[in-house]
Amino acid sequence: MNRPAFFLALGLAATAVLPATAQSLVADMSESSISITSNFTGKDILLFGAVDEPSDVVVVVQGPREELVVRRKAKVSGIWMNRRSVTFQGVPAYYAVASNRPLEGIASQTVRAQFRMGGAFLDFAVAASTRHLAGAELLEFREAILRNKRRDLLYFDVENSVQFRERLFRTSIVFPASAPEGDYTVTTYLLRDGRVVAEQSTPLQIRKAGIERMIFDLANQRPALYGIIAILIALASGWVAAAAFRRA
């Protein structure tokens, strides 16, 4: 659908929804799930909605939580070795922020920190075994997580990506091929005068599908059988290769 037609369709829907429910924010997505198959190269999902009056919109997407070990290397006798490590818990595997203008102009640092609007405000829990490290040193390890996630295109802030046409808005959420499987939360915030006046959260699922799903389930639910099948396949492949060489 082209852009004018899209906004026209959304406008008709918003006209019907907003007055009837007296909601200041209505948001939805073009898809609520993503299937990962062998030819999966990434996916863009359209998030669209309507507001009852001129406002700012910030969209925050967070993926499944994970535990990460961050290591720092140091040179010892001319050899690079791991010298320090910190274990962080509850780290979003994926994190993205989209807004209609720069976040600094939308809300104060206090508000952005409260609603986790921006990677700088993500709260990573530190495992008890590494809580003795100084704050400045922990900050360096935390920055390493943000740097590595951004390099892998799993963390990003996209300002000016929420497009408005009168009361209607839209933006695209980009999920790269490396996006991890799991449950995601897409939260849309409506702000006026720097304050959050409404929010709406929508779940999103990323799951393996087809043969990839079958292999994944087999490996995790019946590892012994998975190992036996893998060995049999390897033996069969070796036998076929040997037979081919004998004929040659």
Q: Confirm if 27 and 202 have CB atoms less than 8 A apart.
A: yes
pLDDT tens column, 127-163 = 766 656 667 778 888 898 999 999 999 999 999 999 9
pLDDT tens column, 167-188 = 999 999 999 999 999 999 999 9
Question: Average pLDDT over the chain, rounded to whole?
Answer: 81
Q: What is the pLDDT of residue 12?
A: 42
- What is the C-alpha separation between 225 and 222, in angstroms, rounded? 6
Q: What is the pLDDT of residue 235?
A: 75
Q: Which backbone phi and psi does 116 adopt, to 5 degrees?
A: 55, 50
Asked whether residue 15 carries a pLDDT value surpassing 50, the answer given is no
Q: What is the pLDDT of residue 18?
A: 47
Percent of the chain with pLDDT over 90: 48
Please tell me which residue, 75 or 29, carries the higher pLDDT value. Answer: 29
* Domain 3-208 falls under CATH 3.40.1190.10: no
pLDDT tens column, 200-233 = 999 999 988 655 555 655 566 667 766 777 777 7
End-to-end CA distance of the chain: 57
- In the structure, how many helices (H) and strands (E) does the chain have? 6, 13
Please tell me which residue, 33 or 248, carries the higher pLDDT value. Answer: 33
Residue in 192, 196, 193 with CA at minimum distance from that of residue 60: 196
The residue-averaged pLDDT of 67-73 equals 81
Asked whether residue 6 carries a pLDDT value surpassing 80, the answer given is no
Cα-based angle 163, 167, 171 (whole degrees, multiple of 5) = 25
Asked whether residue 245 carries a pLDDT value surpassing 90, the answer given is no
Domain boundaries of the chain, sorted by first residue: 3-208, 210-248
Q: Confirm if 187 and 199 have CB atoms less than 8 A apart.
A: yes
pTM for this entry: 0.74
